[in-house]
Amino acid sequence: MRCTRFTKPTLVIAGLLTGLLLAIPAVPLGAQEAAESHLGRGFGPAYDAAHEITFSGTIQDVVSQHVAGSPAGIHLLVAGPQGVVDAHVGPFLSKETKESLQAGMPVRIVGAMSLQEGKNYLLARELTVGGSTVTVRSERGVLLPVHSPRAQRARTQKTSQLQIEAGAR
């Protein structure tokens, strides 16, 4: 009798383990592939580089006060052939660029439209105003800190000076 007591639980456990091993392949273990997306990730609204547009028009208003539900930073209300567009240019513009943003100035914006809180915004990637072009976002839509033209010129002059000094040796 002693032998039957130990063999029955052993057979039951062996049967359960066999059943589990046979059941595992029946459960789908493969992960589903995610749909390919070119939307920018991170904080703020998503940037869809695949649907970039170029919008030209005249600045009607420069809005620097944050409105609840809108992307943070400076907004330009730009009137163009397609109507008035709210263009988000971000919080990182240089002082010189901010000063050049005046009502009545012609502007060209390369960017992507984004729907946020039921309203469309043109997320500017590149802003051309007053003959100068400023890159606001990377090609993936990440806001970039913008250096002032004065700082850029100083950096260029410093590099040139270093090259001249290195050549004089």
- Residues 42-86: tens digit of each pLDDT: 456 788 989 999 999 999 999 999 888 888 999 999 999 989 999
- Contact, 76 vs 134, CB < 8 A? no
pLDDT at residue 167 tops 70:
no
Prediction pTM value:
0.62
Q: Domains of the chain, with CATH numbers?
A: 49-157 (2.40.50.140)
- Longest CA–CA span in the chain (Å) reads 103
pLDDT reading at 3 higher than 60? no
Arithmetic mean of pLDDT over the chain: 78
pLDDT at residue 160, as a whole number? 46
Reported as type and span, the H/E element at residue 86 is strand 83-90
Distances (CA, A) of 126 to 20, 98, 99, 140: 59, 14, 17, 12
Residue 157 has pLDDT above 60, yes or no: no
Express each pLDDT in 18-36 by its tens digit.
Answer: 766 666 665 555 544 444 4
At 40 the pLDDT is: 45
Q: How many CB atoms lie within 10 A of CB 88?
A: 26
Q: What mean pLDDT is predicted for residues 7-14?
A: 72
* Tokens 């003959």 found at: 131
